[in-house]
Structure 1
Amino acid sequence: MFDDKPETTRMNMIQAIRDAQDVMLGKDDNVVVYGQDVGYFGGVFRCTEGLQAKYGTQRVFDAPISESGIVGSAIGMGAYGLRPCVEVQFADYMFPAYDQITQEAARLRYRSNGQFTAPLVIRMPTGGGIFGGQTHSQSPESLFTHVSGLKTVIPSNPYDAKGLLIASIEDDDPVIFLEPKRLYNGPFDGHHDKPVVPWSKHPKGEVPTGHYTVPLGKADIVREGKDVTILAYGTMVFVAETAATETGIDAEIIDLRSLLPLDIETIVESVRKTGRCVIVHEATLTSGFGAELSAQVQEECFYHLEAPVMRVAGWDTPYPHAQEWHYFPGPARVGEALKSVMEAI
């Protein structure tokens, strides 16, 4: 949703995320941005670079190395009337703050009977692909989607990243905003350890320069097809596209963008049309978000299915640093799943 017909510029995801915070800092005096090294240094991935110089140390500032302190203080700020957008350097670091996220932020609106809200955003780089090992590469989205009161968002491109982040900052409930670090500079096809194309050459790298929102809870059909529906988010959107192209299967690919709220209507309409569904995510298979997707597709589309719903995901093992490119679902594994559901009788 745009305020006016926008001018656009080419951005990568880092620039789009930074621009979203810039727009909201300028638009709303209640917005504050902080976290470890996000001020003078501009964040470990430079997603806040230059914002402190522009808005001052009262609006953009560094925090101690205490995730529980960062999130706990943001909850208090939100209850007071501010709109904090805080950064946890890696999603793997969020566990010390998990109590504050799940027991305080998620419940504040309900336990106060609507007297207080927690309008805060917690930004976290997620997923692997930078050879960061076990403590910099996890995909913990299902730990948040299981918690009532939280919203969970994962963009796959600069256009969506900016629009979703602005919508998240303006939302009155706590939003977990997970940023696939492999996509910061460009999309992957699953075969390479570097982006196959920079965002400056990708259509979704064209980003409006002003204020706009991408609504939470609305999926994007990135490729239309009639044979099988692929549900994916984040980096796996591009892996799914590569698999569909390489197999020649006419797959409809849905980028969920928002896991909660989930656009179940778009999913159901697609699966009822194709009769087949493959779910792809980077996180561990067991109890991953794909299990929830599979259950909902089964409940809503059972009599339309021509094959079992299949999931392609990470291994059920601690994150394997030396084998991370085998751990990721790649086009070959996704392609095998596509062929399997197409051959089912």
Structure 2
Amino acid sequence: MATRSTSKRPRVFSGIQPSGMLHLGNYLGAIQQWVAGQSEKDQFISIVDLHAITVPQDRETLHYQTRDLAALLLAAGIDPQKTTLFVQSHVRAHAEGAWILNCITPLGWLERMTQYKMKAAKQESVLTGLLIYPVLQAADILLYDADEVPVGEDQKQHVELTRDIAQRFNYLYGETFVVPRVVIRESGARIMALNEPTVKMSKSETVRGHAIRLVDEPDEIRYAIRRAVTDAGREIVFSEEPEKAGVNNLLQIYELLTGKSRPEIEAHFARARGYGDLKNEVAEVVVEALRPIRERYRELIADPAELDRILAIGAERARAVAEPKIEEVKRKVGFVLPATLG
């Protein structure tokens, strides 16, 4: 298995699509981990605009949401001095790597992907990009010799495919890629919808009360949480029972934002008069947690030139890692690399 010798810190790759508005589930399931790991890990975070166009996109919306996502990530605590933050399409090696890996990936591997089958079932005509985007995801990860890939449970299968592709390439052409491992946060990996706690909170859902956006105003946050679906009982405890999904979701949010232990939280809410008390307290915790993010976002989004500067620096740093790797891949496949003139 290929290994990296240039850094003792674990290298992490994460990608996030510029579609929809970041919500509390994104923050607790992913961004919070990225921020916490910035000093201990060598992190690459990509705004994966190439992935976004696997389904039709409005060009002006995609353009806006790419910068908007950068602003939100920075506002939420991503430090461009510690983390390489860049736009996927700014680094051409991603597209080149995806094509080469497509050519060694069996079709059956892609057709088995649960995400593909779910999304394809909702479309009259399935675009090729939807089928092969897990290979682009593999290229994203493997170009950086990532040791860890933190994902939600729904993306675990794609990282397992990445491992299979890396091992296949290494077998065919010699040791080239680090085989990454999946990292899933035990609590918070799946923050559920407030209005339907049996489904995951979604960036693309626009129904009011479904999710809490990172830039929602305090009154909107309180509205969503106070109307969150719960059960007919009164017991406020962590539980995997389906009928307690709504209460469990609220408790997980409270747990992740306060850092308190589960026994401590359950003891605290044992004195509550009912779910109303739980909802009110969770709402205020969320309001205060998101306040500095919302304020910083407003400053950042008002200065697109500064956002572009930060993303340009990130892309330069990403290319410094990805370009040597794609050249190694091309040599091993048998391509003739362009000569250096001068």
The answer to whether the superposition gives a TM-score over 0.5 is no
Q: TM-score, normalised by structure 2?
A: 0.28
Higher relative contact order (CA 8 A, sep 6+): 2
Of structures 1 and 2, the larger Rg is shown by 2
Q: TM-score, normalised by structure 1?
A: 0.27
Point out the structure with the larger strand share: 1
